[in-house]
Amino acid sequence: MSKSVRITGISPPPRMRGATTALRAASLRVMTLRAAALVMALVLSGCGEGFETTTRKGHGVKEWHLRLEGGKIEAVAVWPPGRGPWPALLLIHAGRGRAQRFSRELFRLSRRGLLAMSISLPGFGDSTGPEDFAGPRSVGAVLQAMEYLASRKDVSPDGIAIYGFGQGATVALLAAIRDPRIRLVALESGVYDLGGAFNTLPPTTRERLRSIMGGSAREKPLAYRARSPKFEADKVRGPILIMHSKGSRMFPVTESEGLAAKLRGAGRPFRFVMTRGRLQEFLLGHPSIRRWVVPFIGDYMTLKTPGSPKNR
C-alpha cells in the first residue's frame, strides 16, 4: 500500500478532501468497533476460567472467578497503565444486575486513575447461588474481593473504596462494618433497616424477601436484623457518601435519611446527596458515580492521571 504524503500550505482538491474524510471516518469506526468488542468480551460469561489482557492503550483487563465456600463469584477488573499505586473502587450491583453491568464504567474509572473492580453477588450472573439478599454469602463475596484488592502491589494500602447501589448498597455497608481495609463507602438508593422498611417496599420485593428469608420481617426478625447495617454503621472506619433518588421506587428515601441521622448522632463523617430524576436504579450509565462518587474519593484519596511521569 502506498504511503500518503501531506504537503503543507496547499489545500487538497475536493475529491481528495472527501477521501481523507472517509478514511478518518473509517478509522473512527474501526476504533469504535474495537472498543465495543472489548466491552462485549466483558459481557460474556461462563467462558472457561477467565482471561487477563492489556488494551492497546495499556489498561489491564481481567475477568475471572473468586472462590467462596465451594462455589464461585464472578469478577471483573480494569486498571490504569503504569505502575501505580492506585486507589481501588469495588462496585456492587443492585438486584437483577451483575458484574458486567459496570463494564463501561470500569474503563471510565481506570482513566481517572482508579483500579476498578466489580463482582456478581451470589445468585446473579455467573456466581453460584442461591441469592441471599445481603446475607452472609453476599458479604463473604465482597470480603473475598477485598482480599484480592489488598493482595495487589499496585493498590494503595489505604486506598480501597466501595460503591453499592440498591441491594448492593446494603451489602457494601455491611462489608465495610466488618473489614477495616475499606476506607471509604459510597451508597446509592439502598435499604439499611430491612425489617423496619419491609412494609413500605413494593409487593414484589416483599414476596422476594419472604422467599429468601423464609418469612416476613415479623416472622423472621433476626434474619432481617442481620441485613440491617444502619444499627452498626458507626463502626465504619472512613467517610460515607449517601445518595438517594427522591423518586426511587425500589427503596424509600427515608432509608438514607435514617442512616444519615444515625451517623450524625454518632459524630461520624458523611455526606448526604439527593440525586435528581426517577428510576435511578435502571440507568445503565450510573451518572452518580461520575458526578458524586469520584469527586468524593478525590477529597480523601490521591487520584493520579494515568500516563503521568510518576506512574511510568
Q: Assign residue 285 a region (left: φ > 0; alpha: ψ between -120 and 50; beta: otherwise).
A: alpha
- Nearest CA to 115 out of 70, 144, 156 is that of 156
CA 223 from chain center: how many Å?
Answer: 26
Can you tell me the distance from the alpha carbon of 220 to that of 273, in angstroms, rounded to the nearest whole number? 32
Q: 199 forms bridges with which residues in the sheet?
A: none
Q: Can you give the pLDDT at residue 285?
A: 64
| Phi (first) and psi of residue 65, to 5 degrees | -125, 135
Q: 215 forms bridges with which residues in the sheet?
A: none
- pTM over the 0.85 mark: no
**Range with the poorest average pLDDT among 13-17, 93-97, 275-279, 304-308:** 13-17
Q: Order of strands, edge to edge, in the sheet holding 115-119?
A: 50-54, 60-68, 71-79, 115-119, 86-92, 155-165, 184-188, 240-247, 270-278
Alpha-helix residue ranges (DSSP H) falling in the chain: 14-43, 103-111, 136-151, 167-178, 194-197, 203-213, 221-225, 254-266, 287-288, 294-300
The DSSP letter of residue 303 is -
The top-scoring range by mean pLDDT among 4-8, 40-44, 103-107, 245-249 is 103-107
Can you tell me the distance from the alpha carbon of 106 to that of 116, in angstroms, rounded to the nearest whole number? 5
pLDDT digits (tens, 9 = 90+) for 182-196: 999 999 999 999 999
How long is the chain?
312
Q: What is the arithmetic mean of pLDDT over 38-65?
A: 73
Burial class of residue 101 (count of CB atoms within 10 Å of its CB; 0-12, 13-18, 19+): buried
Number of Cβ within a 10 Å radius of residue 158? 13
Number of Cβ within a 10 Å radius of residue 245? 22
Contacts 24+ apart (CB under 8 A), 99-104: 99/74, 99/75, 99/125, 100/42, 100/43, 100/45, 100/76, 100/125, 101/284, 102/76, 102/286, 103/39, 103/42, 103/43, 103/76, 104/39, 104/285
Proportion of the chain in helix, strand, coil states, percent, rounded to 5: 45, 20, 35
**Residue 79: all three cell numbers together:** 486498571
Question: Confidence class of residue 308 from pLDDT cuts 50, 70 and 90?
Answer: low
Q: Is residue 24 scored above 60 in pLDDT?
A: no
Per-residue 3-state assignment (H helix, E strand, C coil) for 74-127: EEEEEECCCCCCEEEEEEECCCCCCHHHHHHHHHHHHHCCCEEEEECCCCCCCC
Question: Confidence class of residue 198 from pLDDT cuts 50, 70 and 90?
Answer: very high
pLDDT digits (tens, 9 = 90+) for 241-279: 999 988 787 899 999 999 999 999 999 999 999 987 544
